[in-house]
Amino acid sequence: DTEVTQTPKHLVMGMTNKKSLKCEQHMGHRAMYWYKQKAKKPPELMFVYSYEKLSINESVPSRFSPECPNSSLLNLHLHALQPEDSALYLCASSQDWERPQHFGDGTRLSIL
Amino acid sequence: AQKVTQAQTEISVVEKEDVTLDCVYETRDTTYYLFWYKQPPSGELVFLIRRNSFDEQNEISGRYSWNFQKSTSSFNFTITASQVVDSAVYFCALSEGGDNNDMRFGAGTRLTVKP
């Protein structure tokens, strides 16, 4: 069992749907991350929420929007996604940049 | 910009063989951290080891060992007496800190251990 919990584990959605991916950690970590990973590629950083500040990878399209309700939760809202957005979405948390990031099991997202 | 290179895309060995996964990095910072992660077919990234830029001591943990050499900007990972359960994709990663806590991954090496 991982200490970072992601739900759902699998999601299939149409291009016009709105859905959310949820990520929760109870390790008291101050930083949380969203990554996108395509098949046979390394994870690519999308967003970082660290010490109450959100940082965005400028290449991430606006149809992805993060939300941090509190220090333990980092959600990812999805709207009007494209087929190329199909991927494994990984959430992670860490105490700070010097410490290892702990990853969840991921959400496998398929866009029809 | 920081960069991590894992030149070996795929490696296949027979069980009980030793195998070394290479990692070369580029950074202008004097303070940085290097990591190795394992990603089995289930998809979860599992942390294996962290090394900071000021500590060049090699480390051994069971069948795993790591060789950090700043002179060649390398942080190689060796599995001794490999087992089928070691089959996974292994990522080397570099963190320089800064506002974005940005950790950059190498492309990964897919290790297959055959019985």
Contact B103 A31 (CB under 8 A): no
B97-108: average pLDDT = 81
Contact B101 A88 (CB under 8 A): no
The pLDDT of residue A57 is: 86
A33 to chain B nearest CA, in Å?
9
Encode chain A (112 residues) as per-residue pLDDT tens digits: 569 999 999 999 988 889 999 999 989 999 999 999 999 999 999 999 988 888 888 899 999 999 999 889 999 999 999 999 999 999 999 998 888 999 999 999 999 8
In this complex, the residue of A53, A102, A105 whose CB is nearest that of residue B43 is A105
Q: Is the pLDDT of residue B61 over 80?
A: yes
Query: Rounded to whole angstroms, how far apart are CA atoms A100 and B52?
Result: 11
Token representation of residue A94: 């860490």
B14 to chain A nearest CA, in Å?
22
Query: Is A90 within 8 Å of chain B by CB?
Result: yes
pLDDT tens for B104-113 read 999 999 999 9
Cβ atoms B37, B47 nearer than 8 A: yes
Contacts of residue A30, defined as CB under 8 A and 6 or more positions apart, other chains included, come to A50, A51, A71, A94, A95, A96
The pLDDT of residue B77 is: 96
Q: Is the pLDDT of residue B17 over 90?
A: yes
B44 to chain A nearest CA, in Å?
5
Cβ-Cβ contacts under 8 Å, B43 against chain A: 88, 90, 105-106, 108
Cβ-Cβ contacts under 8 Å, A90 against chain B: 43, 45
The pLDDT of residue B96 is: 86
The amino acid present at A76, given as its one-letter code, is: L
Query: Rounded to whole angstroms, how far apart are CA atoms A102 and B51?
Result: 16
Q: Is the pLDDT of residue B4 over 60?
A: yes
End-to-end Cα distance, chain A: 30
Tell me which of A101, A107, A109 to substitute to probe the interface with B (most B C-beta atoms closer than 10 Å): A101
Task: Fill in the DSSP letter of residue B70.
Answer: G
